[in-house]
Amino acid sequence: MAQATINARLNATVKERGDKVLRDNGISTTEAIRGLWSTMARTREVPSFLAQECKRDEAAERRRKREVARGLVGLATEGATLSDDALSDLRFQALLSRYEVLS
pLDDT for the residue 102: 65
Same domain, 78 and 100: yes
Same domain, 39 and 67: no
Q: Would 69 be classed as within a structural domain?
A: yes
Same domain, 35 and 68: no
- Is the pLDDT at 74 greater than 70, yes or no? no
Contact criterion met (CB below 8 Å) for 97 and 67: yes
pLDDT for the residue 24: 97
Q: What pTM, to 2 d.p., does this model score?
A: 0.53
User: How many domains are contained in the chain?
Assistant: 2
DSSP strands (E only) in 1-103? none
Give the range of the structural domain holding residue 18, as residue numbers without chain letter. Answer: 8-45
